[in-house]
């Protein structure tokens, strides 16, 4: 099967699945069409099969592949890998590509299809021609491990665990260990010239000072914005989850006791750091998780729409939705005490400093629905999502809380995929 035929077969598969699911919504024309549009979005608009058996999933309006976004963009296709071989081939090709990217540069967050030197900007950092952008984000290494675990859990296909995968697991542990002592042990720095403060790191590209906590340092958030303080709590939580998966791979697949012990040991250190430095007492909400800290007594209390977020903790399987500290944190971040929680005439929800003030993100609304405990809250969120699409019948990045016809990004594949997943979960 040539590349054109593979793409056609994938498109046909997702269209068939979308119709099978959407038929139950035929009496709700808006939900019917929006679900179908969002479900097929990744396959039809952001996917390329490559000659070497890999798959390249670009973010949408930018022709580069983010490790984070590409993983999240396929989440709603995973349940169908068993019944549709082409979908399994597609996800397997994406994993292969992600592993190769990490081995090329574990500090980069986004990659080109080829080593062509294309980039967001000519930054002062140790970049390669493969790097579209070299903002170091801990979650960029978590997501491919998460996707690999999802693939393995569903298909039990051991062939995916190549020598390259084992190298990546070792490299991730090595890098996260090094970045526990960023100021002393790491050579990473990042400077972008003539840009907003959120696009570059302070102190000649090194970021603000940090003390040792056991957690691992991140230069940037999942939003691609610079961290205020270097220990990004939700990303460290996702790292703890990913290390648990690496421990599982080491034990069940690689039979490597050293790798297993390294993953377990680092996970324990990060968990200890979260417990000792990531929780503080709020006079109104009780014990809550901070968004960022520096290990030197400074905290950033907020949440951002991009995942991993504090809101998403049950979804990334760090904790249960009923966990008391999570529930306290949830009440905090879904209140005006969170500086990026906005309420308007059309909607209320979490936004991001990455987009204008008073803009709510569809990703955050969908994640609120995915982590809600009651069906009533889930159904309420679905209505908000459908009513804030600006008439486009797809999801956006952010929209103005008083007028959803004012939005960023005509369509956003990551948001579309999470919306499709949410609808599927709600209508099981």
What digits encode the pLDDT tens for the residues 268-307?
999 999 999 999 999 999 999 999 999 999 999 999 999 9
258 and 407 co-located in one domain: no
* 3 is a domain residue: no
Report residue 361 CA to chain centroid gap: 14
Final residue in a domain of this structure, among 336, 364, 394: 336
| pLDDT score of 410 | 85
* 315 is a domain residue: yes
pLDDT bracket for residue 180 (50, 70, 90): very high
pLDDT bracket for residue 164 (50, 70, 90): very high
Inter-residue contact 293 to 209 (CB < 8 Å): no
268 and 399 co-located in one domain: no
227 and 303 co-located in one domain: yes
| pLDDT score of 390 | 96
| pLDDT score of 205 | 98
Residue 154 is part of a domain; what is its CATH number? Answer: 1.50.10.10
Q: What is the pTM of this model?
A: 0.98
Pick from 316, 397, 407: nearest CA to 364: 397
What digits encode the pLDDT tens for the residues 214-265?
999 999 999 999 999 999 999 999 999 999 999 999 999 999 999 999 999 9
pLDDT bracket for residue 100 (50, 70, 90): very high
Residues 6+ apart with CB under 8 A from 258: none
* 43 is a domain residue: no
Supply the Cα-derived Rg of the chain in whole angstroms.
21
Domain with 263, as residue range(s), is: 58-336
* pLDDT higher than 90, residue 267: yes
143 and 267 co-located in one domain: yes
What digits encode the pLDDT tens for the residues 309-344?
999 999 999 999 999 999 999 999 999 999 999 999
- To the nearest whole number, what is the mean pLDDT of the chain? 97
162 and 218 co-located in one domain: yes
| pLDDT score of 1 | 85
* 50 is a domain residue: no
* pLDDT higher than 90, residue 402: yes
When pLDDT is averaged across residues 196-209 and rounded to a whole number, the result is 97
What digits encode the pLDDT tens for the residues 40-56?
999 999 999 999 999 99
pLDDT bracket for residue 61 (50, 70, 90): confident
266 and 321 co-located in one domain: yes
Q: What angle do CA 197, 201, 207 make, to 5 degrees?
A: 130
% of the chain exceeding 90 in pLDDT: 98
Final residue in a domain of this structure, among 311, 336, 361: 336
301 and 393 co-located in one domain: no
């Amino acid at each position: 099967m040539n590349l054109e035929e593979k793409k056609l077969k994938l498109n046909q598969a997702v269209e068939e699945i979308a119709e099978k699911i959407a038929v139950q919504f035929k009496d709700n024309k808006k939900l019917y069409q929006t679900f179908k549009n969002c479900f097929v979005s990744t396959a039809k608009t952001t996917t390329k099969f490559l000659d070497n058996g890999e798959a390249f999933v670009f973010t949408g309006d930018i022709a580069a592949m983010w490790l984070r976004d590409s993983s999240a963009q396929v989440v709603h296709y995973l349940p169908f890998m068993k019944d549709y071989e082409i979908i399994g081939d597609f996800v397997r090709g994406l994993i292969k590509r992600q592993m190769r990217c990490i081995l090329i540069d574990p500090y980069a967050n986004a990659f080109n299809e080829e080593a062509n030197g294309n980039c967001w900007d000519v930054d002062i950092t140790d970049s390669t021609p493969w790097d579209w952008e070299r903002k170091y984000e801990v979650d960029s290494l978590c997501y491919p491990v998460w996707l690999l675990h999802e693939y393995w859990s569903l298909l039990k296909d051991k062939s995916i665990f190549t020598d390259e995968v084992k190298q990546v697991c070792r490299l991730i542990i090595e890098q996260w260990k090094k970045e526990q002592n960023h100021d002393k042990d790491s050579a990473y720095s990042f400077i972008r010239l003539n840009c907003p403060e959120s696009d570059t790191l302070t102190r000649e590209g090194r970021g603000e000072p940090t003390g040792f906590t056991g957690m691992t340092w991140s230069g940037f958030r999942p939003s691609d914005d610079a961290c205020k303080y270097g220990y990004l709590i939700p990303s460290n939580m996702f790292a703890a989850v990913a290390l648990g998966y690496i421990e599982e791979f080491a034990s069940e697949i690689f039979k490597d006791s050293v790798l297993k012990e390294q993953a377990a040991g680092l996970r324990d250190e990060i968990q200890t750091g979260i417990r000792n430095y990531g929780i503080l007492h709020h006079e109104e909400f009780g014990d809550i998780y901070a968004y960022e800290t520096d290990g030197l007594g400074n905290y950033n209390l907020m949440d951002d729409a991009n995942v991993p977020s504090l809101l998403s903790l049950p979804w990334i399987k760090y904790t249960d939705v009923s966990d008391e500290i999570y529930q306290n944190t949830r009440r905090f971040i879904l209140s005006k005490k969170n500086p990026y929680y906005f309420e308007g005439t059309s909607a209320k929800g979490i936004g991001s400093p990455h987009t204008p003030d008073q803009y709510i993100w569809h990703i955050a609304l969908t994640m609120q629905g995915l982590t809600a405990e009651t069906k009533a809250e889930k159904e309420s969120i679905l209505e908000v999502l459908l009513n804030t699409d600006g008439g486009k019948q797809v999801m956006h990045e952010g929209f103005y809380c008083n007028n959803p016809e004012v939005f960023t990004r005509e369509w956003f594949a990551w948001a579309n995929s999470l919306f499709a997943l949410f609808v599927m979960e709600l209508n099981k």
